[in-house]
Structure 1
Amino acid sequence: MTQTETDIEGTLLDEALIVSFAELTRLCGTNGRAVKLMVAEGLLRPQGCQPDDWRFSGDEIRRARLAVRLQHDLDLNLAGTALALDLLDELDRLRTRLQALELLAEQRRR
């Protein structure tokens, strides 16, 4: 990866971006143990079998960074972080569904 952490800060992360285990730890400002615990807890789902082989997508980077921020800012443990991320994911799904339903209702009114 040629981008620095500062470059990533201002870049929209997409699914096409793939980083290694070491790159993810740098991007999140955390250590390898914390990332391994997130994987063990199911917060992150890397491609590959072992940490040296793990690859993380842009969505996983976003999720890992959010998890680190939640743990730091709200002093959450790993289980609390997992719950918070699940709830935020559900909120995103519901918002998307609501937008689709509102669009459908608008089209039917025409």
Structure 2
Amino acid sequence: MSNNHQDVELSFDDLVRACDNQSNWILSLIAESVIPVEQEPQLARYTGYHMAIARRAWRIHRDFNASASATALILQLLDELEDLRRRS
């Protein structure tokens, strides 16, 4: 996924709603640097790209009962796999 998609501006609450109202989950993703934030998470503004990451991470967590750190690793591996497929 490319981080160049800044088509919409979302709040922290928007991300929380996208992940079944689990604010602790979003904070865990931020702590694991899955969603990069440079200020207080509740005050930061997010993009559609961040929403896509949060929803993808939530599905992995929900389907496999993966922790935030395991989800971060899974997402990293999936991104690397996508890059390898693009190159071949």
In the superposition, the TM-score normalised over structure 2's length comes to: 0.83
1:106 corresponds to: none
> Quick one: percent identity of the two aligned structures?
32
**1:7-86 paired onto structure 2 within 5 Å:** 14-46=5-37, 48-86=38-76
Which one scores higher on RCO, CA 8 angstroms, separation ≥ 6? 2
Larger Rg: 1
RMSD: 1.5
Amino acid at match of 1:82: A
Aligned residues: 84
Gaps of 5+ in 1: 1-13, 99-110
Gaps of 5+ in 2: none
Distance 2:24 2:70 in 1: 18
- Where is the helix percentage greater, Structure 1 or Structure 2? 1
- Where is the strand percentage greater, Structure 1 or Structure 2? 1
Give the drift of 1:24: 0.9
